[in-house]
Structure 1
Amino acid sequence: MASKIVVVGDVNGKLSEVFGKLAALHTKQNFLFAIIAGNLFADPDTATDDDNQEVVKLLQGSINVPLPTYFALGRTALPAAVIEKLESDLGEVCPNLTVLGRRVSIKTSDGFRIVAVGGAHTDTTDEPMSQYSATYMDGDAAAAGKGLTDVDILLSSDWPASVRDGAKAQYTGDAPAGVQSISELCGVLRPRYHFSTSDNFYEREPLFHNGLPPRFVTRFLSLAPYGNASKQKWIYAFSLEPSAPPPQSLPQGITASPFTAPRKRKLDSQESDFNNYRYANGNGAETHYERDRGHGKRRRAQPPPKPDQCYFCLSNENCETHMVASIGTDVYLTIAKGPLPLRTTFPSLGFPGHILLIPLEHAPTTSAIEDADARQSTVTEMQRYRSAMQSMLVERSKGEDGRSQLGTVTWEISRGGGVHLHWQFMPVPVDLIQRGLVEAAFDVEAENSSYPKFAKKIQDMEAAEEGDFLKVMIWSEALRKEMVLPLDKSFRFDLQFGRRVMGKLLGLETRTHWKDCPQTQVEEQADAEAFKKAFMTFDFSLEGQE
Structure 2
Amino acid sequence: MSVKILVAGSPATAPEYSLSGLFTKIATLHKKVNFNLCIVLGDLFPAIDATQPDPTSAAEQQLDDLLSGKINISVPTYFGIGNHSLPKKLQEKVDRSNGEVCENLFFWGRKSIMTTSEGVRIVAFGGKWDGGLIGGGTKDGDEGTEPSSSLGFYSEADIKGGFGAHTKPVDILITSEFPEGIDAGSRIPITEEVKDAMEGRQRKVLAELATRLRPRYHFTTGGLGFWEREPYMNPAENNKEPTPTRFLAIASQNNPSKAKALYAFNFNPAEPPAHPASFTPIPYISSARGKKRPNPDSSTSFRWSTDDNQQHSHRNKHRKNEPRPPPGPDSCFFCLSYPRLEKHLITSIGTEAYVTTAKGPLPLPSDTLPFPAHVLIIPLSHTPLLSLITPEDSCKSTQQELRSYKSAIEKMLKEKYNHNAITFEVGRARGVHAHWQLVPLPSSITPEQIYECFQKEVRTDDLGSIQEVEETEENMYEEGYNGDFFRWWVGGQEGKRWEVRLEEGKYFDLQFGRRVCAELLGVKGRTHWKDCAQSYDDEVKDAEGFKEAFKEYDFSL
Tell me the TM-score range normalised by the shorter chain: 0.3 to 0.5
* TM-score normalized with structure 2 length: 0.47
Q: Over alpha carbons, which structure has the higher Rg?
A: 1
* TM-score normalized with structure 1 length: 0.48
